[in-house]
Structure 1
Amino acid sequence: MKQKIVHEQLLQQKMNKSLIQAINVLQFSSTELLEYIQQVTKDNPLIEEVSYDYELAEYRSNNSASTPFEDLNERTLSMSDQLKEQLYTININPEYKPIVNFGIDSLDDSGYLDITLDEWATQCETSLDKVEQALTYIQSLDPTGIGARSLRECIILQLKQMNLFQFYMEDLLDNKLAWVAEENLDAIANEYQITRADARKAIQAIQGCHPKPGTLLVEKKSEFIIPEAVVRKEAGEWRISFYSWSNPTITMDETYKDVHDVGQEAESYLKEKYNQVDWLQYVLTYRKNTLERVIYKIVEKQASFFEHGYFMLQPFTLQKIADELGVHVSTVSRAIRGKYVQTNYGVLPLKFFLQPGIKQRDGKFVAAFTIKKVITELVEFEDKHNPLSDEVIRMKIDNEFGIKIARRTVMKYREQLGIPSSMKRKVGGN
């Protein structure tokens, strides 16, 4: 009986290790995955061939403006470079870009802001309000926690992004962090009047956060963006075609699979290498299946975007997609990291499709990105001698786009975009 229990415990540990490794591979972008497969192939002499139905050469020939995969060693990207490349995915006012870039250049190696907001404002000769908005832009970039000013803020940003933040966690991080390190369930449960199960979830959530997110953006070669899938309309329906480079066909040399008279050391080596391929195929399948479920759900929820464009982007969050797929929010977060899909509007990061929303006066929800996009367009083409007031913008959004929001919402998003009031935008006259 005891031997059976020990065997089951060892089996459970092996399963947990395999799952952890599978989750790590889930985080890889297509480029990182290709590099990883190449490294495993190089280290395993029993792998004869790794083949793809759709070769990179064919993808490059159809996307000649992109950088070839083999030429990625021409330039390396620092943490700052990688963060600045993400700025195109957010709706940022050009006026803020130099302020944001200065903030990114002021991060330390761990990803923390290394100057005060007052120093930042002084160096950029701008207001504290604009610096605070610039910091919001930086803190919206990947990985979550970038731009934090303390470990406490870094962890809170990550908890909120995964919808795991609870009201008592600020005090726990400020005053009782030792309890988290000690995994003192009773002390946390008694202090905050919660169950031991909730205390355990809080500890796991906090321990699952990365204390130094900047280290996740180690200097690396410039990436050729390789999408996971292409979304196109066929026979009146939106269909998803997944590229096979995330799940290639691996051909093994089977010569030595049943050999048992080569000595114990050689036999153990062969067994290890065959098991390595089985494990590789397992983690690749796990990544493929998880990612396909996420992308299918995104396309289902964002069908109006694919049909009509940016103005029809729908609110959709990490938590909501996790709930609908029946997985943990951290799984979705890892699945979308560094992943792209090819659309009629270009190659877009999966993160783009997960947008917060606000409730309209009629009870319906609309993506914040959509409202900001509309505001930006209206202001860009307004009569500069008679600019639109917030109330007029609200009316136009209602009449022309059917989006019903309050004037204060227009003002809030206009300010977030760094767009001055109508009085300050007016050209000529007082």
Structure 2
Amino acid sequence: MELGLQQRQELNLLMTFELRQAIELLQYSTHELEQYIREQELENPLIKLKEKEEKPVHEERLHRQSSSFGSSEMPMNAVRSNDKNMRDELLEQAKFMYPDDHTQKLIKYLLYNLDDNGYLQISDSHSNGHLAFEEDDIEKGILLLQQLGPIGIGARNLKECLLLQITYNYPENKLAACLVEYHLNLIADRKWNEIASKMNIKMNEVKDLFDFIQTLNPRPCSLISDCSTEYLTPDIIIEWKDDEFTFHLNDGYLPAIQLNKDYSQYLHAKNDASKYINTQYKNYQWLLSSIEQRRNTIIKIVHVLLEKQEDFFKNGFRSLKPLTLKEVADEIDMHESTVSRATTNKVIQTPFGTFDLRLLFTSKLDTADGNVISQTKVKKLLESFIAQENKFKPYSDQKIAEYFNTEKGITISRRTISKYREELRIPPSSKRKDIQV
């Protein structure tokens, strides 16, 4: 065996700190970028921030409301709320109604085991730190809680929630209580004939009972959540001015990054402090360069979007065209991964509402005439078609797929229809069927 030295030349791509920083900043929203800039000020003595008077454009929202675009494709609606925390209000009410300390602690324990809809989610141990409650205490506390707040609060499940509302508000409606108590699963499955048979009533009575139950509130405490109002800051704002669309990045409120001249004397010195200062100076320069690169990349992408999706900005989601990240990347001569990062976590404000920027990128389906159609438009067609169907004989996914293929010339499978329907939160045909009297 012979030992020897060999020289070999290899080419490797090293992920430097500066490159990682540039990639990371691309993915930041404007709000996240602001936080990052302020963190850099604390870490780098050469960075000095100058605040600006301009304020960001804010939209207040508590949650995403249901939408025709499904859970993954929906506008972010502005919601303003100044409601006081319901848990705190109920706790204050309990202190007034139940003066003894033990009952107040019991009610507090139960209140903080309610989910966002007011349902009680409680463990078997019933322990509260150093305080433990007996089973009888828990049952007593639940009864007190259910009398304290909105009818239905403290229910362990949907059945109990509905029964509480019937018992307190409509005690005379024994049939409705019986239907909820014993046949709630049949209501969910819309098995109207089976309900009529089991309860020995006519179909028109089943319909009356179903209509009544729909007036009850399955979420009587939907505002009990402790979540405070979140503020949504659009990163890009599209406006219609002088018969054309214009846009600007909503980053005018970001603090200006300046060089702290107090340390400039150390840049050209020959000591250990100089090495540290020069390293921080390079970081300062890279930060400025990365932010500018991020800004220019987003501007290029939005220019392409305004051109490619002009019909969307004029008419809304029905006119959204198929568009991929790669197509945009080719237009601006960048890599697809760069466009992907630059469009991540970005919110765009348009005349039709405020959306996740990625909603403007949508896959395509083929049509019989050789053209393509966006998935978003197909979902809108699907939603419209189901809305107009005969509710006594709703279409199956297979029938809808056949209709799209033959009547609309859109090549689509039953499985895809099912997928889109679920994304739109539309139940299957068996659960869309109305009662036929």
Q: Distance in 1 between matches of 2:368 and 2:268?
A: 77
Count of aligned positions: 267
Match for residue 376 of structure 2 among 369, 373, 378: 369
Whichever residue aligns with residue 33 of structure 2, its letter is L
Q: Which residue in the other structure is 2:193 paired with?
A: none
Q: Which residue in the other structure is 1:27 paired with?
A: 27
After TM superposition, give the deviation of residue 228 of structure 1 in Å.
Answer: 1.4
Q: Which residue in the other structure is 2:245 paired with?
A: 238
Specify whether residues 312 and 257 from structure 1 end up closer, same or farther in structure 2 by C-alpha distance, changes over 3 A only: same
Specify whether residues 258 and 381 from structure 1 end up closer, same or farther in structure 2 by C-alpha distance, changes over 3 A only: same
Match for residue 340 of structure 2 among 330, 333, 336: 333
Q: Which residue in the other structure is 1:89 paired with?
A: 72
Q: Which residue in the other structure is 2:295 paired with?
A: 288
- Structure 1 unaligned regions, length at least 5: 1-8, 68-80, 92-124, 126-220
Q: Distance in 1 between matches of 2:435 and 2:395?
A: 15
**What percent of counterpart residues are identical?**
27
- 2:29 is the alignment partner of 1:46: no
- 2:410 is the alignment partner of 1:405: yes
Query: Equivalent residue of 2:312, what SS?
Result: helix
**How big is each residue's C-alpha offset from its partner over 1:17-39, in whole Å with a ceiling of 9 and x where there is no partner?**
53332112212222321111110
Structure 1 or 2: larger helix share?
1
After TM superposition, give the deviation of residue 381 of structure 1 in Å.
Answer: 4.3
Q: Which residue in the other structure is 1:277 paired with?
A: 284
Q: Which residue in the other structure is 1:71 paired with?
A: none
Specify whether residues 378 and 253 from structure 1 end up closer, same or farther in structure 2 by C-alpha distance, changes over 3 A only: same
Q: Distance in 2 between matches of 1:260 and 1:24?
A: 28
Q: Which residue in the other structure is 2:421 paired with?
A: 417
Alignment of 1:126-137 (within 5 A): none
After TM superposition, give the deviation of residue 253 of structure 1 in Å.
Answer: 2.4
**How big is each residue's C-alpha offset from its partner over 1:26-75, in whole Å with a ceiling of 9 and x where there is no partner?**
1222232111111001122333324447333xx34xx3x258xxxxxxxx
Based on CA coordinates, which of the two structures has the bigger radius of gyration? 2
Specify whether residues 19 and 394 from structure 1 end up closer, same or farther in structure 2 by C-alpha distance, changes over 3 A only: same
Q: Which residue in the other structure is 2:387 paired with?
A: 380
**How big is each residue's C-alpha offset from its partner over 1:240-266, in whole Å with a ceiling of 9 and x where there is no partner?**
111225975212222442457866122
Whichever residue aligns with residue 47 of structure 2, its letter is I
Specify whether residues 324 and 316 from structure 1 end up closer, same or farther in structure 2 by C-alpha distance, changes over 3 A only: same
- Structure 2 unaligned regions, length at least 5: 1-10, 75-184, 186-227
After TM superposition, give the deviation of residue 359 of structure 1 in Å.
Answer: 1.4
Whichever residue aligns with residue 90 of structure 1, its letter is E
Q: Distance in 2 between matches of 1:338 and 1:308?
A: 24
Contact in 1 for aligned 2:309/2:320 (Cα 8 Å): yes
Specify whether residues 286 and 261 from structure 1 end up closer, same or farther in structure 2 by C-alpha distance, changes over 3 A only: closer
**How big is each residue's C-alpha offset from its partner over 1:179-217, in whole Å with a ceiling of 9 and x where there is no partner?**
xxxxxxxxxxxxxxxxxxxxxxxxxxxxxxxxxxxxxxx
Whichever residue aligns with residue 47 of structure 1, its letter is I
Q: Distance in 2 between matches of 1:290 and 1:358?
A: 29
**How big is each residue's C-alpha offset from its partner over 1:275-314, in whole Å with a ceiling of 9 and x where there is no partner?**
2211110110111111221222122211111100111111
Whichever residue aligns with residue 277 of structure 2, its letter is L
After TM superposition, give the deviation of residue 412 of structure 1 in Å.
Answer: 3.7
Query: Equivalent residue of 2:410, what SS?
Result: coil
Question: 324-333 or 243-252, which moves further after superposition?
Answer: 243-252
Contact in 2 for aligned 1:372/1:414 (Cα 8 Å): no
Whichever residue aligns with residue 315 of structure 1, its letter is P
Q: Which residue in the other structure is 1:303 paired with?
A: 310
